[in-house]
Structure 1
Amino acid sequence: MAKAFASQGDMADKKISFTKVGDGLYAFTAEGDPNTGVIIGDDSVMIVEAQATPRLARKVIDCVRTVTDKPISHVVLTHYHAVRVLGASAYGAKEIIMSDTAAAMVEERGQEDWDSEFDRFPRLFQGHEEIPGLTRPTTTFSDKMTVYLGKRRVDIMKLGRAHTAGDAVIWVPDQEVMFTGDIVEYHSACYCGDGHFGDWGATLDAIASYAPKSIAPGRGDALIGEDMVAKALAATADFVNSTYAPVARIVARGGTLKEAWAAVREACDPKFSDYAIYEHCLPFNVARAFDEAKGIDTPRIWTAARDKEMWTALQS
């Protein structure tokens, strides 16, 4: 390769924030690294997204213990990606919840994703030696399920494909707060390498239809207040559309992947180059957009070998 992936050289620690997004609701964020949500019920706690390793999960637990000593009973995983799920064992939860689609993707491509992500983003796998293996759910749902943490109602549902085919969101109706996973980002690039560009906008519209007062996004700062929520939804839609539209034009005229890469850079660099993990995501986003524009509906599985082949083709 002419050079390494941008993320392979990203080894600086990020500043952690633990932000209240509603009564008994918190967002653990770290300057564009994967976020985790915390939902405190009457007698127990639900975690949304587990982090990539038990060591990183314990940083979340340390923050939780500053606001409650209630046991952690549930972990909800919005999708199957390794950086979101492999730290689940640290929480000691009796119930781990995923959509049925996400659970199937763990079996289909979970190990490949783990190997791929570990190779291209080593900092997010601090303490990887503790990971006991693939994280599998104890409970799955097809469209929607409701969990009661005492009297607190938590709705877990699929609103449509976006970041992956199995994306879930978590809605806490008593506070009108939503945890969106990587469907929504704030000042952080969307990773679209396993995404569905054609569906993403409608899924964002479905989130907006709930009129959330706050959102804990997949990456970036917590979105507090309806203005900040609206700006993040619009910016996420703009990022997705600005990535796909140039690629679709290149594919329509029979152009190459490298031409698509140049077209996306021209469209996106002026608007998004200062976003967290922008350079990391860009090659994977272009490759997936190229496939989707050619009619490939199911994203091809990323492997450590395919990562390098794609990157070499773009750099040649």
Structure 2
Amino acid sequence: MSKAFASAGDMAEKAISFTQVGEGLYAFTAEGDPNSGVIIGDESVMVIEAQATPRLARKVVECIRSVTDKPISHLVLTHYHAVRVLGASAYGAPEIIMSDTARAMVVERGQEDWDSEFGRFPRLFQGYEEIPGLTWPTTTFSDTMTVYLGNRKVEIFTPGRAHTAGDAVVWVPDAGVMFTGDIVEYHSACYCGDGHFADWGKTLDAIAAYDPIAIAPGRGDALVGREMVASALANTRDFVESTYRPVQRVAARGGSLKEAWDAVRAECDPKFKDYAIYEHCLPFNVGRAYDEARGIDTPRIWTAERDQQMWEDLQG
């Protein structure tokens, strides 16, 4: 019997944690579900990642209200994926920030991504009827921008291609804390279906150069302390390289997608098979790695139909 499609079989409620990672800095996590971040400034609050629906976003707001009554003035979206952005309307009317490239990807593939992720993550899209439409930024930037929450300085920048071409991270210099989106994961599979394998390691190096003492990753527990940060960076690198290397070898000899799949399973299963969303991610990761290894630089757009076909070809 084939596995349930993507995360369609995962309907169990996840336990939420709201972990302080620095002074006035929090990571909202939920057992491998998409994380959000919170930065409390002198005058207002910045949220990183909106969640998939307004219903889920209200859980983030509830956690924020447990520690501050300051208004939410800014919402940073590290990339365009539906599970990160479609809950934005629950935060009122903050300034919504994306990189220029991330906004362009909403234009190019935002609706297709919404349709795709809706099928992959039915639990995350409970309450989808409230979503008013695609989420659009009110402010974009090319490389870097700075926001002041009163006296608190927040730097937002694009460290390089990794999870997507338009990834942004958020750095709080007074605390040495970074919010990385899905560039970094902790005991969760990296989703690489829209990724850039050859660039990902250099992007991790750019993050490490800031010497963060804590990171709120895209999925998994908050990373507090340099040792835990270094471990997560190394583990993320290992996951990405362990996926891409065997595919490169297969592609170099003209092997098939199914041969690439078998090679990745042999490399990754012993190390990562117990990670959150591992089986979900694997077909899309292998599909993208096979394309990149054959010279396709821009990830092909995933549609609900293409998702099902890739799943059937590899997990079926």
> 2:165 matched to 1:136?
no
Residue type matched to 1:62 in 2? Answer: E
Matches within 5 A, 1:305-316: 305-315=305-315
- Paired residue for 2:19? 19
When normalised by structure 2's length, the TM-score is: 0.99
Q: What is the deviation of 1:6?
A: 3.8
Residue type matched to 2:103 in 1? Answer: A
Deviations 1:166-188 (A, max 9, x none): 00000000001000000000000
Q: What is the deviation of 1:315?
A: 4.4
> 2:111 matched to 1:106?
no
Give the gaps of 5 or more residues in structure 2. none
SS at match of 1:310: helix
Residue type matched to 1:74 in 2? Answer: H
- Paired residue for 1:258? 258
SS at match of 2:124: helix
SS at match of 1:134: coil
Moved more, 6-15 or 97-106: 6-15
Give the gaps of 5 or more residues in structure 1. none
Indicate if the aligned counterparts of 1:6 and 1:280 stay in contact, CA closer than 8 A. Answer: yes
SS at match of 1:297: coil
C-alpha separation in 1, matches of 2:67 and 2:225:
22
SS at match of 2:97: strand
Q: What is the deviation of 1:312?
A: 1.9
- Paired residue for 1:147? 147
Q: What is the deviation of 1:94?
A: 2.7
- Paired residue for 1:176? 176
Q: What is the deviation of 1:2?
A: 4.3
Matches within 5 A, 1:39-54: 39-54=39-54
C-alpha separation in 1, matches of 2:274 and 2:94:
40
- Paired residue for 1:76? 76
Indicate if the aligned counterparts of 1:25 and 1:39 stay in contact, CA closer than 8 A. Answer: yes
C-alpha separation in 1, matches of 2:94 and 2:179:
21
- Paired residue for 2:285? 285
- Paired residue for 1:229? 229
C-alpha separation in 1, matches of 2:21 and 2:151:
19
Deviations 1:230-275 (A, max 9, x none): 0000000000000000000000111111111111000000000011
SS at match of 1:288: helix
Q: What is the deviation of 1:109?
A: 0.2
SS at match of 1:125: coil
Indicate if the aligned counterparts of 2:283 and 2:315 stay in contact, CA closer than 8 A. Answer: no
After superposing on structure 2, the runs of 4+ consecutive aligned residues of structure 1 that deviate more than 2 Å are 1-4
- Paired residue for 2:198? 198
C-alpha separation in 1, matches of 2:30 and 2:97:
24
C-alpha separation in 2, matches of 1:235 and 1:243:
12
Deviations 1:274-308 (A, max 9, x none): 11000110000000000000000000000000011
Identity %: 80
Q: What is the deviation of 1:309?
A: 1.3
Q: What is the deviation of 1:5?
A: 1.5
SS at match of 1:114: helix
Indicate if the aligned counterparts of 2:79 and 2:98 stay in contact, CA closer than 8 A. Answer: yes
- The total of aligned residue pairs comes to 316
- Paired residue for 1:238? 238
Residue type matched to 2:80 in 1? Answer: Y
- Paired residue for 1:35? 35
- Paired residue for 1:86? 86
Q: What is the deviation of 1:121?
A: 1.1
Residue type matched to 1:280 in 2? Answer: H
- Paired residue for 1:61? 61
Residue type matched to 1:167 in 2? Answer: D
Residue type matched to 2:248 in 1? Answer: A
Q: What is the deviation of 1:93?
A: 3.2
